[in-house]
């Protein structure tokens, strides 16, 4: 199989409720979608969802880089994923979001060529996968509680709370949600680097009665040493997110004893190829993985859900970005169960079995061989 052309588009969909975190606000999808066309009748689709405060890239830069990556791979075999991703990862150390979009499209094509859904192509079998739903940082406890009520009413069994306020201001928000939810709902907190070491120790100790699952990225992205110190100090698992992009970060964090869990996002790892390496390193170290998202539509979320289904070591799912979109442009792909909150369904169609409705795609550019 040979790559004959690549179509590049912008995709923009606002959220009903922008998601506020300590390092910025995600307003919705400001993404780039690519389609890799081949000399067969198969087409592979991929999507980036850049968030500059974390990934360092933007929709603008992804759109420009996609054109260079398209030229790089033109006329080559998309099924040789090892070779294609090695070229792409050597071409730029930056732009992880768009590298991930190309990787997703390669896997979509490879699984289609094999005639299998992607989870099966990755060696997986059907298992139950269920996402949490996230509450962003609200101004008042009342606002936080109102959002939590909505999540519980939809039947979710897991809530992720964005924290990272100054001092101990987060404690009352978490306390109120635990009191509302009762003991059986899973609650995790994500500080998005909002705390320093002493604030993290104080908050995690103060939240001990609330029986949390883990603390995600409590400290600054670069502060591996204090993360290891914190993990020794507190009685709550530590999950690294912004501190881990790829397999090299995974190995470093594990060697330092700095994380119990690793949060994989295809927009950080540059796709499934490197994500699989992260899961292997984590598994060998007795470390569980989480899979998360930025502002992906159900297209890129479908790739993440297939990966999660294929790798049971991916224990925690936070694949909720498309839950709050004002429009859903994706045909096929992963579905949120209508009754059981957070339960995810994948089809048995080949590849991702998902495409974007063309009418939502803008600024089409075709790179040809
Ligand atoms: Mg996070």
Q: How confident is the model at residue 300 (pLDDT cuts 50, 70, 90)?
A: very high
Using the mean position of ligand 1's atoms as its centre, give its distance from the Cα of residue 346 in Å.
24
Using the mean position of ligand 1's atoms as its centre, give its distance from the Cα of residue 106 in Å.
26
Using the mean position of ligand 1's atoms as its centre, give its distance from the Cα of residue 37 in Å.
34
355 has pLDDT over 90? yes
333 has pLDDT over 90? yes
279 has pLDDT over 90? yes
10 has pLDDT over 90? yes
Using the mean position of ligand 1's atoms as its centre, give its distance from the Cα of residue 238 in Å.
12
Using the mean position of ligand 1's atoms as its centre, give its distance from the Cα of residue 283 in Å.
20
180-194 core/surface letters (b: 16 or more CB in 10 A; e: else): bbeeebbbbbbbbbb
Residues less than 5 Å from ion ligand 1, measured at CB: 190, 216, 241
The answer to whether 76 touches 102, Cβ cutoff 8 Å, is: no
93 has pLDDT over 90? yes
Using the mean position of ligand 1's atoms as its centre, give its distance from the Cα of residue 245 in Å.
12
- The domains located in the chain, with CATH, are 3-115+358-368 (3.30.390.10), 121-345 (3.20.20.120)
Residue 15: its H or E element: strand 3-21
Range 310-336 average pLDDT: 96
Using the mean position of ligand 1's atoms as its centre, give its distance from the Cα of residue 29 in Å.
17
286 has pLDDT over 90? yes
What percent of the chain is predicted at pLDDT more than 70? Answer: 100
Range 215-223 average pLDDT: 98
Using the mean position of ligand 1's atoms as its centre, give its distance from the Cα of residue 217 in Å.
6
- Position 22 scores a pLDDT of 84
Using the mean position of ligand 1's atoms as its centre, give its distance from the Cα of residue 243 in Å.
10
Using the mean position of ligand 1's atoms as its centre, give its distance from the Cα of residue 190 in Å.
6
Using the mean position of ligand 1's atoms as its centre, give its distance from the Cα of residue 241 in Å.
5
Stated pTM of the model: 0.97
Closest by CA to 100, choosing from 49, 29, 42, 58, is 49
Q: How confident is the model at residue 21 (pLDDT cuts 50, 70, 90)?
A: confident
- Position 209 scores a pLDDT of 98
17 has pLDDT over 90? no
Using the mean position of ligand 1's atoms as its centre, give its distance from the Cα of residue 45 in Å.
25
20 has pLDDT over 90? no
Using the mean position of ligand 1's atoms as its centre, give its distance from the Cα of residue 363 in Å.
30
Query: To the nearest whole number, what is the mean pLDDT of the chain?
Result: 97
At 39-53, the pLDDT tens digits run 999 999 999 999 999
At 107-161, the pLDDT tens digits run 999 999 999 999 999 999 999 999 999 999 999 999 999 999 999 999 999 999 9
Q: How confident is the model at residue 363 (pLDDT cuts 50, 70, 90)?
A: very high
Beta-sheet pairing, 261-264 with 344-345: unpaired
Using the mean position of ligand 1's atoms as its centre, give its distance from the Cα of residue 21 in Å.
9
- Position 195 scores a pLDDT of 97
Residue 121: its H or E element: helix 118-121
Using the mean position of ligand 1's atoms as its centre, give its distance from the Cα of residue 117 in Å.
28
State the sign of the Cα–Cα–Cα–Cα dihedral 238, 244, 250, 256.
negative
What residues contact residue 14 under an 8 Å CB cut-off, 6+ apart? 27, 28, 29, 325, 326
Using the mean position of ligand 1's atoms as its centre, give its distance from the Cα of residue 160 in Å.
9
Q: How confident is the model at residue 248 (pLDDT cuts 50, 70, 90)?
A: very high
Using the mean position of ligand 1's atoms as its centre, give its distance from the Cα of residue 242 in Å.
7
The answer to whether 42 touches 353, Cβ cutoff 8 Å, is: no
- Position 28 scores a pLDDT of 85
What is the rounded CA–CA span in Å between residue 303 and residue 118? 8
> DSSP assignment of 49-77, as one string?
---HHHHS--HHHHHHHHHHHHHHHTTS-
Other Cβ atoms closer than 10 A to 93:
10
Using the mean position of ligand 1's atoms as its centre, give its distance from the Cα of residue 113 in Å.
34
Using the mean position of ligand 1's atoms as its centre, give its distance from the Cα of residue 288 in Å.
15
Using the mean position of ligand 1's atoms as its centre, give its distance from the Cα of residue 184 in Å.
23
- Position 278 scores a pLDDT of 98
Q: How confident is the model at residue 251 (pLDDT cuts 50, 70, 90)?
A: very high
Using the mean position of ligand 1's atoms as its centre, give its distance from the Cα of residue 216 in Å.
6
């Amino acid at each position: 199989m040979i790559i004959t052309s690549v179509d590049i588009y912008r995709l923009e969909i606002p959220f009903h409720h922008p998601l506020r975190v300590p390092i910025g606000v995600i307003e919705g999808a400001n993404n780039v979608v690519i389609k890799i066309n081949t000399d067969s009748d198969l087409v592979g689709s991929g999507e980036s969802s850049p968030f500059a405060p974390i990934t360092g890239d933007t929709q603008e830069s992804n759109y420009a880089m996609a054109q260079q990556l398209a030229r790089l791979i033109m006329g080559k075999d998309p099924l040789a994923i090892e070779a294609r991703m090695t070229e792409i990862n050597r071409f730029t150390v930056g732009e992880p979001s768009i590298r991930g979009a190309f990787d997703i499209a390669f896997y979509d094509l490879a699984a289609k060529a094999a005639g299998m859904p992607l989870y099966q192509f990755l060696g997986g079998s059907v298992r139950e996968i269920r996402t949490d739903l996230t509450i962003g940082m609200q101004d008042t406890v009342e606002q936080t509680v109102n959002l939590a009520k909505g999540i519980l009413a939809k039947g979710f069994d897991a809530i992720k709370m964005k924290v990272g306020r100054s001092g101990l201001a987060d404690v009352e928000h978490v306390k109120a949600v635990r009191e509302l939810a009762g003991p059986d709902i899973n609650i995790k907190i994500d500080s998005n680097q909002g705390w320093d070491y002493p604030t993290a120790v104080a908050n995690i100790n103060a939240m001990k009665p609330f029986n949390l699952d883990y603390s995600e990225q409590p400290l600054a992205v670069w502060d591996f040493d204090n993360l290891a110190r914190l993990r020794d100090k507190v009685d709550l698992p530590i999950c690294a997110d912004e501190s881990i992009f790829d397999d090299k970060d995974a190995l470093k964090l594990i060697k330092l004893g700095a994380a119990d869990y690793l949060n994989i996002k295809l927009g950080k790892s540059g796709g499934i190829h490197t994500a699989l390496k992260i899961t292997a390193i984590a598994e060998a170290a007795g470390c569980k993985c989480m899979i998360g998202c930025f502002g992906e539509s159900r297209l890129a979320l479908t790739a993440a859900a297939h990966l999660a289904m294929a790798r049971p070591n991916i224990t925690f799912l936070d694949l909720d970005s498309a839950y709050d979109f004002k429009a859903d442009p994706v045909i096929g792909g992963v579905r949120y169960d209508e009754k059981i909150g957070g339960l995810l369904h994948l089809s048995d169609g080949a590849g991702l079995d998902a495409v974007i409705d063309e009418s939502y795609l803008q600024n089409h550019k075709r790179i040809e061989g």
